[in-house]
Structure 1
Amino acid sequence: MNDQIAIPCVVMRGGTSRGPFFLARDLPVDPQQRDALLLSVMGGGHDLGIDGIGGGNAVINKVAIVGPASVPGADVDYLFAQVRVREGVVDTSPNCGNMLAAVGPFAIEAGLIAATADITHVRIHNVNTGKLIDAAVATPGGRVTYEGEARIDGVPGTAAPIELSFPNAAGARTGRLLPTGRPVDRIDGIDVSCIDAAMPVMLVRAADLGCTGREAPSDFADSSFRARLETLRIEAGRLMGLPDAANMVIPKPVLIAPASGATLNVRYFMPHDCHSALAVTGAVAIATACLTPGTIAAEMVGPLTAPVPITLAHPSGQLLVRLEPGPVARVQRTARRIFEGQIFARRSHVPHAVLAA
């Protein structure tokens, strides 16, 4: 028996994230076997994922699993997995909107949906949250193109635009926009707003934790700051109905502050390291909070009503979320196909794997 398992794989950049994309049929059916295989290919158990293709930053330790739609009204299913290589954990509790940007192009090129002229709309069922998202993919002449003039902060150069539309994003994980039933909760003497719209987040005024909201990600290395933020996050998770937050990557903690030239300055954590840019799903949640009366975000920015653009300043630049009546949140991203071939998992890590095919 071969001591390695070969799996077809495509590595793609989606927005400001990157990771392997798999067809669901090429992975084990059993979730435990699937997660063991993902840890093997990503290099679980090491800070840098040295025995796999993972890395030392959460934005490149992400996996997308795509297959035929399992619900009416969708074209494809998309299951997102955040691999925590250091701890050897696969977390499928959140969605990832940056990786989501590459799902449409991947699905078209994999033959899961036929391209149409100029623009192909791919209706994506996010298995993690049960929500439907529309991706508008550039397909001139019926073929995916990655070249274009769209620019997003956090990625060099330009590429073809991909517009993501999130209708009715509220309650993605908990079933409620305000999971605690209140726009503000007080934890350990700190005001927080717990919001669930595309992603469960805990918003905190940066100033309340002695920060400006304009820091570089490396400025958050202080262990006492990290411990305090994690304490707040875990308690916020409990209040939101996520009692196992200590072992999950949700809710995501976010520092917010007033901004010049943007709606807010934000620093988004994943949940322990500060994101070098900003998660799309997190941006939808923050933008939604700006329009939700009583939240610390709404109090900071003043009265706003849809339709309205919300510009969020992050360490690499800015991200624009357009909120429209419906409600619908729209975000522009880009993507690129980087590599395709076979990736190898060690059979000793998944000794009884039965592939879906």
Structure 2
Amino acid sequence: MTHPVNRQIGIPCVMMRGGTSRGPFFLASDLPAVPAERDALLLSVMGAGNDLGIDGIGGGNPLTSKVAIVGPATRAGADVDYLFAQVRVQEGVVDTSPNCGNMLAAVGPFAIESGLVRAVDGVTVVRIHNVNTGKLIEARIQTPGAQVAYEGEAVIDGVPGTAAPIHLAFLDAAGANTGRLLPTGSPTDLIDGIAVSCIDAAIPVMLVRAADLGKTGYEPTDGFRSDRAFMARLEALRVEAGRRMGFPNAAGMVIPKPVLLAPPTRGGTLSVRYFMPHDCHRAMAITGAVATATACTVPGTVAAALLGGPLAMPGDVTFEHPAGRLTVRLEAGAGASGPGQSAPVAGILRTARRLFEGTVFARPSTPPRAAMAA
């Protein structure tokens, strides 16, 4: 007979693809309310202690080591709460400082199918409170016959095939983590002689011209990891940018995210290489796209300078990324983020898919620290 202390812990779970990311979705009521207990459970579920997440359901890549936790809204004007967790399986760390806009695309469908939001025939609007940043995002979900539709004709680069469109609108993205669109007070700062722009809109980012770091900005994603000198320099810039943005422990956080910028080569607005922060994204993060697109409207930023001046609104910003293109629609918004600062409303097209549902199992205790370092 198995002793109760050795029994695994079963948690209801739905695996979903949101945009170009994938991960388990949980109802907040199915997880421990105490953050430390919740995080220990998530580490076990995702397979902490191994870079492949071999003893869990983590996908061996930051894009597939993400978790969404959804529950009833705790903020007026919202329909649901969404807490995002980036699980760093190798280090055994759960980071809830950032938001993830790709996983966000699946929050609306999950909320509807979990009974948190009642669907209407046609299109159901779900207003999502991102707990990580305190910001509101509006998702428009295709619900013919009051049922979530996953099949459709929408295409997003980085995901094979077509699917039903999901329209996301970031209503007031500025100051997501710092309370200010320009956390350092300046559109451009010099760090070790390199011009960078520190922007906080949906997520804090550090923008830098690829050429200033000896790169073209068109390199394949895997080529960066092997260039240890470049990665060390980028990390040093990121950590100092984080310090100036108000994150004294940025070395232990995934924010700010570094973004390399270069002129476009395929008819877009800018070429981008987005880091997460220690690996180059195979496409482009949605929150990173919102931040970078917003920077294009701010005079004096690295992004605006590459365009020859700030972008006028309404307008589209199309990013050329390793998997294709991503377009952000910008319209004037009223969200204030400091004296004389406001950010546009940013709209993005995404898709999502429900992959499987069932019970995922966690160990009754966290793995030993030695195993995590193995």
TM-score (ref. length: structure 1): 0.97
- State which of 90, 115, 119 in structure 2 corresponds to 1:115: 119
- What per-residue deviation string (whole Å, max 9, x for no partner) do you get for residues 52-105 of structure 1? 011221000000000000010000000000000110100000000000000000
Query: What is the CA–CA distance in structure 2 between the aligned matches of 1:168 and 1:115, rounded to whole Å?
Result: 25
| CA displacement at 1:117 relative to structure 2 | 1.2
Match of 2:371 in 1: none
Match of 1:88 among 84, 92, 98: 92
- Residue 33 of structure 1: SS of its match in structure 2? helix
Deviation at 1:348, TM superposition (A): 2.2
Find the partner of 2:151 among 140, 147, 153.
147
Counterpart contact for 1:3–1:348, Cα < 8 Å: no
- For 1:239, which of 234, 241, 244 is the aligned residue? 244
Aligned residue for 1:213?
Answer: 217
Question: Are 2:186 and 1:182 equivalent residues in the alignment?
Answer: yes
| In 2, Cα distance between equivalents of 1:56 and 1:74 | 33
Does the CA-based 8 Å contact 1:47-1:55 persist in structure 2? no
The one of 307, 314, 331 equivalent to 1:301 is 307
2:341 counterpart of 1:334: no
> CA-to-partner distance for each residue in 1:5-64, whole Å, 9 max, x for gaps?
000000000000000000000000100000000000000111101000112210000000
Other structure's SS at 1:64 match = strand
Does residue 226 in structure 1 map to residue 231 in structure 2? yes
After TM superposition, give the deviation of residue 187 of structure 1 in Å.
0.6
Q: Give per-residue Cα distances to partners, 1:275-326, cap 9 Å, x unaligned.
A: 0000000000000001100001001012321100000010000000000011
Alignment of 1:16-165 (within 5 A): 16-165=20-169
Partner Cα distance (1:167, 1:132) in 2: 6
Which residue number in structure 2 is paired with residue 320 of structure 1?
327
Q: TM-score, normalised by structure 2?
A: 0.93
Deviation at 1:328, TM superposition (A): 0.7
2-structure distance, mates of 1:139, 1:324: 26
Q: Which amino acid aligns with 1:335?
A: A
Tell me which residue corresponds to 1:344.
361
State the AA in 2 paired with 1:47: D
CA distance in 2, matches of 1:25, 1:265: 42
| Distance in 2 of aligned mates of 1:316 and 1:349 | 36
CA RMSD between the two structures = 1.0
2-side partners of 1:39 and 1:177: how far apart? 33
* Separation in 1, partners of 2:175, 2:242: 14
Q: Which amino acid aligns with 1:339?
A: F
Q: Distance in 1 between matches of 2:200 and 2:365?
A: 39
1:278 aligns with 2:278: no
CA displacement at 1:271 relative to structure 2? 0.3
Deviations 1:319-350 (A, max 9, x none): 00000011210000000000100000000229
Equivalent AA in structure 2 for residue 33 of structure 1? E
**Aligned partners of 1:203, 1:45: CA distance in 2, in Å?**
32
Q: Provide the rounded CA distance (Å) in 1 between the counterparts of 2:63 and 2:27.
A: 21
The SS at the match of 2:106 is helix
Q: Which runs of 5+ in 1 are unaligned?
A: 351-357
Give the AA of the match of 2:357.
Answer: E
CA distance in 2, matches of 1:45, 1:193: 35
Structure 1 outlier segments of 4+, above 6 Å: none
Cα distance in 1, alignment partners of residues 193 and 366 from structure 2: 45
Q: What is the CA distance between 1:227 and its match in structure 2?
A: 0.6
* Structure 2, unaligned runs of 5 or more: 334-343, 368-374
Whichever residue aligns with residue 364 of structure 2, its letter is R
Letter in 1 for 2:100: C
2:121 is matched by which residue type in structure 1? Answer: A
> 1:24–1:67: 8 Å Cα contact kept in structure 2?
yes
Amino acid at match of 1:235: E
